[in-house]
Amino acid sequence: MRWFWIDRFTEFACGSHAVAVKGVSLSEDHMHDHMLGYPIMPNSLVTEGMAQAGGLLVSETYSFSELVVLGKIAKAEFFTCVRNGDQLTYRVKIEWVRGDGAAVKATAHVGDKLHAEALLFYARLDEETDGLFGTRLFRPRDLRHWLSLVGVFEVGLKADGTPMQESDYPLEECAAEV
Amino acid sequence: MPSEEEIFEKVREALVDALGVDDDEVTATATLQGDLDAESIDFLDIVFRLEKAFDIKIERGELFPEDILTNADYVQDGKVNEAGIVKLRERMPFADLTKFEAEPVVQNLGQQLTVKDMVNFVAYKLAA
């Protein structure tokens, strides 16, 4: 199983906001034991979904060229239970962005019902800090693959309203990294 | 321009929200990392809240000049040299660096930043 906690984006407005959806299925491993006889999507994974949607939105503000990691969940509140058969809609909005990080407000709904609210902080790991990890956490082609799977370039719009183009971003594999 | 007490109250509120500490823990002499357990990512949260609370813009490195602390011209054997101290005084006129100057180990700077330094920083920004 891959660590993908959004299925696809339905909106992706660069530098502003995004909407992503995730269908919750009984075939997912975590639903088997959480809880026995009464499957509930764990709220930690709902948070991960919001964080992934927000993280890709923030990463775009740095042209998908540098690593962005979830640094802090400043707030997370949950109001209901998410069951198998539900579809989660994640809405993320960039509240604040700076050279070294960003803040995102996120919500998760099932239908019209608010399930979760969160305030998330992301840290940008640039060339200076990247070296602390010794090796890159993932490669540009892996990021490109993920962006493609979740439909970012199908629905994404740049700040001027024109469609995002994959070729606008440095997602090609460098020869040295192959 | 708000009074020092008004600034302190807003700084306290920002620190309570960002660090999950109690009101009475946020005293003027409390250190952010030592007493209030702030981690590096918390500084982004704190800056975010200060910008909103005071309608100011805080650039990277303005509150905590990490570029000086990672510059080989200013740091030797893990300690900030004379030139580095001069640079820090220029960049951090809001902070009381007396204690740091006595033992200028790089890691000490963050450890010694106090709530009072934050209040002074905001007052310095508002006066600019």
User: Tell me, what's the ipTM?
Assistant: 0.87
* Alpha-carbon distances of A173 from A84, A126, A129, A139, A140, rounded to whole Å: 38, 18, 21, 8, 6
- Segment 80-139 of chain A within 8 Å of chain B by CB: 95-96, 98-101, 103, 121, 123, 128
Q: Mean per-residue pLDDT for B68-87?
A: 95
Q: Over 70: is that where the pLDDT of B2 sits? A: yes
pLDDT of amino acid A125: 83
DSSP B33: T
Give the structural domain span for A26.
Answer: 8-177
- Segment 7-66 of chain A within 8 Å of chain B by CB: none
Contacts with B54 from chain A: Cβ below 8 Å: none
Helix (H) or strand (E) holding B19, with range, is helix B4-19
The reply to whether B13 touches chain A by the CB within 8 Å rule is no
3-state DSSP assignment of residue A97: strand
pLDDT of amino acid B128: 87
pLDDT of amino acid A128: 58
Average pLDDT in chain B: 95
In a domain, A171, yes or no: yes
Who wins on pLDDT, B69 or A127?
B69
Q: Which domains does chain B have, with CATH numbers?
A: 1-59+114-128 (1.10.1200.10), 65-112 (no CATH)
CATH number of the domain encompassing residue A73: 3.10.129.10
pLDDT of amino acid B110: 87
Contacts with A101 from chain B: Cβ below 8 Å: 41, 44
**Which chain A residue shows the shortest CA-CA distance from B51?**
A96
**Number of folded domains that form chain A:** 1
In a domain, A2, yes or no: no
pLDDT of amino acid B125: 96
In a domain, A3, yes or no: no
- Picking from A68, A73, A94, A96 by the largest number of B CB atoms within 10 A of its own CB, the best residue to mutate is A96
Omega before A35 cis (within 30°)? yes
DSSP string spanning A15-54? TTEEEEEEE--TTSHHHHHTTTTS----HHHHHHHHHHHH
Q: Over 90: is that where the pLDDT of B78 sits? A: yes
Who wins on pLDDT, B128 or B85?
B85
pLDDT of amino acid A175: 47
The reply to whether A79 touches chain B by the CB within 8 Å rule is no
Q: Flag residues of chain A having pLDDT under 50.
A: 134, 175-178
DSSP A174: P
Task: Specify whether A34 is catalytic.
Answer: yes
Contacts with B48 from chain A: Cβ below 8 Å: 95-96, 103, 121
Q: Which residue of B48, B59, B60 is in closest CB contact with A103?
A: B48
